[in-house]
Amino acid sequence: MEKILALRGRVYPTDLNHMGGVFGGWIMSKMDKAASITVEGLVIGQAATVFVTDLHFKEPVKNGDIFTIYTTIDSIGRTSIRIHVDFNVRRRETNCECSVVDAIFTFVTVDEAHNKIAVLDVLRHDVEEDIREMARLGASTPRYAKK
């Protein structure tokens, strides 16, 4: 799957904890926002974050860092979409971009009453064929089948 640039910004002093690094919750909220933007490009309607797994904080994020968040569609199930999120920073000192946090965010497609609905029912008509095929395969895979 293609890597998508979903969000970019800068770290400011108000984002820092008492040790001078960025709060982990701040990073997670940016990652969730980036993942939701990617999901919004796939489906018409609502999707809710239901699970975050494999969250790895590899290096601290510092004041002044420019962050770039990339997303990749990991898998699509009958009612769920898993997005791999990679939080990168470009350090002022080195001007090199490196991955500092990554995780898998799982979303579930829901109707207006917040009941789960099939991804295929709300998949945008203009999504690429490989994504559409992933959704078709996910819809036909038994819920507890081993991958």
Contact 87, 131 (CB under 8 A): no
Q: Is the pLDDT of residue 22 over 50?
A: yes
Contacts of 21 (CB under 8 A, 6+ apart): 60, 61, 62
> What is this structure's pTM?
0.91
Please give the pLDDT value at position 145: 47
- For the beta carbon of residue 129, count every other beta carbon within 10 angstroms: 7
pLDDT tens for 79-89 read 999 999 999 99
If pLDDT is split at 50, 70 and 90, which confidence band does 1 have? Answer: confident
Contact 104, 74 (CB under 8 A): yes
Q: Is the pLDDT of residue 147 over 50?
A: no
Contact 71, 36 (CB under 8 A): no
What would the CATH number be for the domain defined by 4-140?
3.10.129.10
Q: Is the pLDDT of residue 139 over 80?
A: no
